[in-house]
Amino acid sequence: MLKKTERLSLVEQVVIQIEHLIESGHWQIGDHLPAEMQLMQEFGVSRNTLREAIRALVHAGLLETKQGSGTIVKSISAFGAALHRQVEKSSVMETLEVRLALEREAAQLAAARRDDLDVEAMTESIQLCKAASEKGNVQEFLQADIVFHKAMVKASHNKMLERLYENITEPLQSSIEEVMVAGDCFNYSEEIHYELLEAIKEQDVQAAISYVNQYINDFREKIKRIQED
């Protein structure tokens, strides 16, 4: 039996509009929302309605309110905020294993589906990795490496996979940087993914899978050794 369509309250309508503005990129993570009066005028609602909507989004994890700083965008979606909370509860190794599993799936999909623009984006990021390695800058290298992995995931042409990867990678990245730098055993030549890029470029699915499997095992062992020292 079909249910009657429920009308959305004004608060729910404002919540949906703000979520859309964040997810569409109109407001980025870290951005401050406009002044309360401006938002009231733009949405055509009262102060109480606006504040209730913002409270709901703060509770969901999309927004954060700070005394003297106003309201700040904290996450691009409620889904992302929920994942961030889960990452905070999990160990670095647990989250890393999930991220690498996503990369393995992304690599084989990218090898099958990549287009010329995808190859160009991955090639540019590899060049950034090479430039950072020549300067001996670990943080810069790790940032460029993440750009490569994100480009690879995007080349899978699976929006849900891309969204999952994005929301797991961001909160994990700072922890990985701390561990890798603390380990003082960073080998740039082993970390630049020339072979993976070539496998995806040549659309060699098996080679892409084999590379990522080896990379995952090596990286997992490296993290374990660093944490044990």
Q: In sequence order, what DSSP letters do the residues of 81-98 get, joined into one string?
A: HHHHHHHHHS-HHHHHHH
Classify residue 27: in a domain, yes or no: yes
DSSP tag of 203:
T
- The count of domains in the chain is 2
Query: Which pairs count as long-range contacts for 89-93, CB under 8 Å and 24+ apart, including other chains?
Result: 92/172, 92/175, 92/176, 92/179, 92/223, 92/227, 93/220, 93/223, 93/224, 93/227
User: Rounded CA gap, 180 and 32, in Å?
Assistant: 33
Q: Tell me the CATH number at 46.
A: 1.10.10.10
Give the side-chain half-sphere CA count within 13 A for 130. Answer: 8
Same domain flag for 116 and 24: no
pLDDT averaged over consecutive 10-residue blocks of the chain (229 residues)? Answer: 62 91 86 93 94 92 85 81 72 79 93 97 95 86 90 94 80 62 60 93 95 85 72
Classify residue 5: in a domain, yes or no: no
Name residue, tokens 């040549």.
202
Name residue, tokens 């889960």.
86
Same domain flag for 16 and 124: no
Supply the pLDDT for residue 227: 67
User: What are 169's two structure tokens?
Assistant: 């990678």
Same domain flag for 145 and 122: yes
What is this structure's pTM?
A: 0.68
The parent domain of residue 22 ranges over 10-76
Supply the pLDDT for residue 5: 46
Classify residue 82: in a domain, yes or no: no
